[in-house]
């Protein structure tokens, strides 16, 4: 199946429709459910989300797509925010910071995979959200709304949601029903074996006055996506089976041929990503990018002669053309004025103290370069430093040297394990901070004092059909070679990449460290990976300086993909 999908990706337009239709039937349909923390947001706040990719055929979390997309669309369907989300074992997570220049209004929060585009867009996850920008006087969209008052609508739906979901087999037991400010809360989650699974939990302040009703539940969405008909598939989209798909086109500024050209792609940095691909008969290219390096700034360059006569364009994510009228209206009234002012003030204070309460990024330190682990590393500070690159190669780095090629150009060479003389036949692959160097002279003349390590791999390697005799991999101290190395044939392109996963901040007043720092958190806890595999699981978190009613929501799916949502509340006085 994997080999067949790769072949299809290389020439999708040539695949018979019947063969592709059979392939879709073999894979089955896919859905994406999103648990998110709130559907009424102020600018300057975060929308936290957890994605669950679902396989209808296997009745499990889906391992088909490795990438999903979340978007925020306005009422006309215009894209305001888009994010790419990495899926691991059918799950993904992230957050959206609502910028202060976003207008007040009704928006649609959408989530989908590329593969899901084979079916009508009403199979996407799509829910109504309200964004309120308190820093502008333009709130006309809420004054002109026609519908039931938000207060009445919110109260009715909040009560309905709590009644509907508390009947689940997942039990929530709290040590109190009311807490003081900055007090520890102990929550015990009771689960039966048939409810074991991975969930997400949100603890957030709710307001009967500032409410926008209920959100789509996992039960509702599961019914919707399971009704998808395989026979209505458009057969136009393959799943992102091996990672992110990068698609683009090569063009020539001077009318040169663009077919069968080798194109080098680099994501510079410590954990760099490197690929060499070949364009098709129309100058198009596509490749899967499965990299832990989530930087957005990439470099494309054509391999070989006349490389400065080409330009590269990467295709953006196509617009959805999905306009959706809100199913309910948010209406401002005078009684909300004080609440809006207070919440806006609290948000500004919280953002001002963000550095004291930061989220942390989960780093992956399992980077393996394209040449594997078969290399010799020279940390130059462990040797006597020499003033030039040439002298360093002579005095420190064994089995590498500088010589002139047939055109009189100076190149770096790496000796093979089997070689008995200097004639090795192929040039090595030269990499500096993740960038492939075609002009060896640029490294030969480089300031050696900026170089931290040199790695030498002596085997022959084939990359994108190109043979290299060894790899000469250089790392600078500041990993900033790309910032200062400019070539006319470099195509620097910013890509849409997934954001790194975060470990979200959890306040702890046990050590009194934060006793003098204001605490106006609306969101007391967001844990996107709550694993329930025991009869009881205990969670602890702290209240803030805000009084009022708070809501605990746990959502997700059991190991048998049964949807679960449980809600309970408590007060802070």
pLDDT band at 152 (very low <50, low <70, confident <90, very high): very low
Residue 160 has pLDDT above 60, yes or no: no
Of residues 173 and 355, the one with the higher pLDDT is: 173
Residue 27 has pLDDT above 50, yes or no: yes
Beta strands in 258-415 (DSSP E): 262-267, 273-278, 284-289, 297-302, 310-314, 360-361, 376-379, 400-404, 410-414
Contact between 534 and 216 (Cβ < 8 Å): no
Q: Which residues pair with 460 in a beta bridge?
A: 469
Of residues 389 and 356, the one with the higher pLDDT is: 389
Q: What is the pLDDT of residue 25?
A: 81
Taking the C-alpha atoms of residue 54 and residue 467, their distance in angstroms, rounded to an integer, is 42
pLDDT band at 486 (very low <50, low <70, confident <90, very high): confident
Q: What is the pLDDT of residue 432?
A: 96
Contact between 69 and 85 (Cβ < 8 Å): yes
Contact between 112 and 32 (Cβ < 8 Å): yes
Of residues 328 and 552, the one with the higher pLDDT is: 552
**pTM (predicted TM-score):** 0.89
Give the model confidence (pLDDT) of 62-103 as tens digits: 999 999 999 999 999 999 999 999 999 999 999 999 999 999
Query: How is residue 29 written in tokens?
Result: 């349909």
Contact between 187 and 129 (Cβ < 8 Å): no
| 16-43: average pLDDT | 85
In 3-state terms, what secondary structure has residue 194? Answer: helix
Q: What is the pLDDT of residue 166?
A: 38
Beta strands in 437-483 (DSSP E): 451-463, 466-476
| 236-262: average pLDDT | 92
| 27-43: average pLDDT | 95
Q: What is the pLDDT of residue 139?
A: 87
Of residues 431 and 420, the one with the higher pLDDT is: 431
pLDDT band at 144 (very low <50, low <70, confident <90, very high): low
Mean pLDDT over the full length of the chain: 88
Residue 205 has pLDDT above 80, yes or no: yes
| 12-26: average pLDDT | 63
| 369-384: average pLDDT | 93
Residue 488 has pLDDT above 80, yes or no: yes
Q: What is the pLDDT of residue 513?
A: 65
Helices marked H in 98-197: 140-143, 150-165
Q: What is the pLDDT of residue 14?
A: 43
Taking the C-alpha atoms of residue 38 and residue 8, their distance in angstroms, rounded to an integer, is 40
Q: What is the pLDDT of residue 162?
A: 39
Residue 159 has pLDDT above 70, yes or no: no
Q: What is the pLDDT of residue 270?
A: 83
Closest residue by Cα to residue 104 from 42, 181, 147: 42
Q: What is the pLDDT of residue 216?
A: 93
pLDDT band at 164 (very low <50, low <70, confident <90, very high): very low
Among 110-114, 195-199, 208-212, 566-570, the range scoring the smallest mean pLDDT is 208-212
């Amino acid at each position: 199946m994997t080999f067949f999908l790769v072949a299809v990706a290389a020439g999708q337009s040539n695949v018979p429709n019947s063969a592709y239709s059979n392939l879709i039937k073999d894979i089955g349909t896919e859905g994406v459910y999103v648990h998110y923390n709130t559907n009424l947001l102020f600018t300057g706040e975060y929308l936290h989300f957890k994605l669950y990719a679902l396989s209808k055929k296997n009745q499990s979390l889906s391992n088909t797509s490795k990438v999903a997309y979340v978007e925020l669309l306005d009422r006309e369907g215009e894209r305001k925010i888009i994010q790419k989300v990495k899926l691991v074992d059918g799950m993904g997570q992230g957050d959206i910071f609502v910028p202060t220049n976003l207008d007040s209004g009704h928006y649609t929060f959408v989530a989908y995979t590329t593969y899901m585009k084979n079916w009508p867009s009403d199979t996407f996850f799509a829910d109504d959200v309200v964004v309120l920008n308190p820093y502008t006087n333009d709130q006309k969209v809420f004054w002109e709304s026609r519908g039931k008052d938000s207060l009445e609508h919110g109260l009715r739906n909040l009560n309905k949601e709590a009644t509907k979901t508390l009947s689940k087999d997942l039990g929530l037991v709290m040590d109190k029903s009311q807490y003081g400010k900055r007090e520890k809360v102990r929550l015990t989650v009771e689960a039966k074996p048939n409810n074991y699974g991975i969930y997400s939990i949100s603890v957030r302040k709710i307001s009967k006055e500032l409410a926008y009703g209920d959100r789509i539940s996992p039960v509702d969405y599961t019914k919707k996506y399971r009704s998808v008909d395989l026979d209505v598939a458009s057969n136009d989209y393959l799943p992102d089976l091996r990672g992110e798909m990068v698609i683009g086109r090569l063009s020539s500024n001077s009318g040169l041929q663009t077919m069968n050209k080798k194109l080098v792609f680099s994501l510079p940095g410590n954990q760099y990503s490197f690929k060499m691909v070949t364009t098709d008969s129309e100058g198009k290219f596509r490749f899967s990018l499965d990299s832990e390096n989530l930087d957005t700034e990439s470099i494309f360059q054509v391999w070989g002669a006349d490389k400065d006569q080409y330009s590269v364009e990467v295709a953006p994510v196509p617009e959805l053309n999905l306009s959706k009228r809100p199913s309910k209206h948010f209406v401002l009234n005078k009684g909300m004025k004080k609440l809006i002012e207070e919440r806006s003030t609290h948000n500004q204070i919280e953002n001002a103290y963000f550095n004291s309460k930061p989220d942390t990024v989960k780093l992956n330190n399992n980077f393996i370069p394209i040449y594997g682990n078969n290399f010799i590393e020279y940390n130059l500070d462990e040797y006597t430093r020499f003033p030039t690159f040439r002298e360093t190669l002579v005095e420190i780095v064994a089995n590498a040297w500088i010589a002139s090629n047939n055109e009189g150009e100076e190149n770096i060479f790496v000796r093979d394990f089997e070689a008995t003389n200097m004639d090795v036949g192929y040039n090595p692959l030269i990499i500096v901070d993740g960038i492939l160097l075609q002009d060896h002279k640029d490294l030969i003349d480089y300031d050696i004092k900026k170089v931290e390590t040199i790695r030498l791999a002596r085997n022959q390697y084939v990359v994108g059909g190109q043979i290299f005799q060894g790899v000469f991999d250089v790392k600078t101290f500041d990993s900033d070679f790309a910032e200062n190395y400019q070539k006319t044939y470099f195509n620097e392109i910013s890509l849409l990449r997934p954001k790194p996963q975060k470990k979200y901040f959890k306040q702890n007043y046990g050590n009194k460290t934060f006793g003098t720092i204001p605490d106006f958190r609306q969101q007391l806890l967001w844990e996107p990976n709550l694993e329930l595999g025991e009869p009881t699981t205990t969670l602890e978190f702290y209240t803030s300086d805000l009084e009022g009613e708070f809501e605990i929501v746990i959502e997700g799916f059991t190991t048998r993909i049964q949807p679960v949502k449980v809600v309970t509340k408590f007060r802070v006085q």
